[in-house]
Chain A
């Protein structure tokens, strides 16, 4: 009990400071204007975080579009085909290793391969690739766990009806596991949305909003990272406001994931 309270103290302090300092920065224009880059004089000139919010959404969406199909595909293969074969176990092992890789390593990898290696520069899609690498093991592992929860008797009765295995997977296994799979996907998205390190030297930072994933792209974590080191009070405040925004976005994703988990027919 005492330990629980001790553990809760930092949590509440974080939330308190986040709301206390972050709400101060929230003004209508905070969400509708891009940061100006003019951080020296402070005041109203510094702009908001529109480009960071949109950049995060764009890059995470692309990362999800890359990692979710692959991750679910791998999970399906592991559960339905690979099972206990040595190759399946090797894949599992490396998936676990990937889960434990520090996120900055993914950023570094993409930096070396796609930026140094190609002699080009930062781009939003390169950030997405780094995030996708980060999400891939999470999606795969969550997917595998959920697919394993689908009772074997359902597969068997579908097979016994004369359905080919791929139809059993498509029509029975995946629909049955869907709520759980969505939960895993949302948690992976939430994890990626909060990552700074993979984006620092892949997508870099920008001021202007861009809908082109080939451009430099701003994101909430990187915006916070940059702002918090600035000497101007208003800019540091903007970092708090951005942090509160990011936490709320992730909270919403997590709540959606929990709601879906509750609807899960398997748990």
Chain B
């Protein structure tokens, strides 16, 4: 691997547009910890190269914050998110709560530009990842998604792939960085707390695992591409309480290396895992603050009604 190797097309493109954000050494794999926080410039050597195998002496790299500015999301002509301003702080877990249909999922899908995959849907506004707007025309959507991983509601390992291939999928699908695949897969599986359970059956189908293991496999799959942010869309809603507990513990460990945004219907879960909580209603952000404040002394009466169970 040459030092110039990780400088992908995207890196160069961003370097042109935002030279001040893109010191050349930032992309050098030898010094990932020196890389400026976040950004889309080098989604392949991000903060999270610390995944389990951090060299001694390196300081733990931090993940970037995500700033959502005046974000409006549409399905066809109907406005679903009515101008959201919200910051997801670096290396924290932010929970988004709110009744069904309030736009929680739409919001996080806008962060990694998955919203636009829905036919007829589009978004306006800015989403800044470490200072770079993911909606900037010069930004490659593929780079955005590599930097911002996503875990879905239902565990969905690729049914044709083994445990190993599922984790390796992200690395293979992007057609670069195929070296050290074994190591990276092990690292990701350890990161997801699954290595001990599956190390002897890496060749078996991913869908043969239990539901909770499948979801952790999906987390490992997104960890393998070394994202800086992980979005979780009700990751435990299809799981039993024990599997849920494991995922929650995992979230707590992961926030050391990534910024986490979790959408949840379960307010206890938000209270357990989140540093900060945002409450949404009808496509608007009602309130955001430290989780404890939101649940005990919310400033908005609607938040209070929701968290005390009066509606929703």
Contacts and interface: CB of A to CB of B under 8 A. Distances in A.
A169 to B, nearest CB: 11
A159 B159 contact: no
- Determine chain A's interface SS by DSSP, over half rule: helix
Contacts of A162: 43, 142-146, 170, 173-174, 225
B260 to A, nearest CB: 15
A175 interface: yes
A153 B175 contact: no
Interface size class of A (residues with CB under 8 A): 20 to 34
Contact of B158 (A84, A164, A172): A172
Contacts of B222: 160-161
Contact of A160 (B150, B158, B172): B150
A101 interface: no
A163 B168 CA distance: 12
A162 B154 CA distance: 19
Interface string A123-154: 00000000000000000000000000001011
Nearest to B44: A162
B221 A157 contact: yes
B159 A154 contact: yes
Contacts of A160: 112, 114, 145, 149-150, 152, 222
Interface string B133-175: 0000000001111100110101010111000000001101111
B152 A156 contact: yes
A164 to B, nearest CB: 6
B117 interface: yes
Contacts of B154: 153
Contacts of A154: 156, 158-159
Nearest to A161: B170
A139 to B, nearest CB: 21
B119 interface: yes
A175 B145 contact: no
A156 B143 CA distance: 15
A176 B119 CA distance: 22
Contacts of A167: 173-175
B96 interface: no
A176 B170 contact: no
Contact of B119 (A83, A155, A158, A171): A83
B263 interface: no
Nearest to B120: A84
Contacts of B11: none
Interface size class of B (residues with CB under 8 A): 20 to 34
Contacts of A175: 160
Given A172-B158, A175-B160, A161 B173 contact: yes
B159 A161 contact: no
A168 interface: yes
Contacts of A172: 158, 160, 169, 173
A20 interface: no
B189 interface: no
A229 to B, nearest CB: 51
Interface string A13-32: 00000000000000000000
Contacts of B145: 159-162
A179 B222 CA distance: 27
B73 interface: no
B152 A168 contact: no
A163 B222 CA distance: 12
B117 A161 contact: no
B218 A157 contact: yes
A247 to B, nearest CB: 34
Interface in B85-99: none
A151 to B, nearest CB: 7
Contact of A158 (B43, B144, B169, B175): B169
B149 A163 contact: no
A214 B178 CA distance: 47
A262 interface: no
A157 B174 contact: no
A45 interface: no
Contacts of B225: 161-162
Nearest to B156: A153
A265 interface: yes
Given A157-B152, A162-B142, A171 B172 contact: yes
Interface of B: 43, 112, 114, 117, 119, 142-146, 149-150, 152, 154, 156, 158-160, 169-170, 172-175, 218, 221-222, 225
26 contacts: A83-B119, A154-B156, A156-B150, A156-B152, A157-B150, A157-B218, A159-B114, A160-B145, A161-B146, A161-B173, A161-B174, A161-B221, A161-B222, A162-B142, A162-B143, A162-B144, A162-B145, A162-B173, A163-B173, A168-B173, A171-B172, A171-B173, A172-B173, A176-B160, A178-B160, A265-B159
Lowest 4 A-B CB distances belong to which pairs? A162-B146, A163-B173, A161-B170, A160-B150
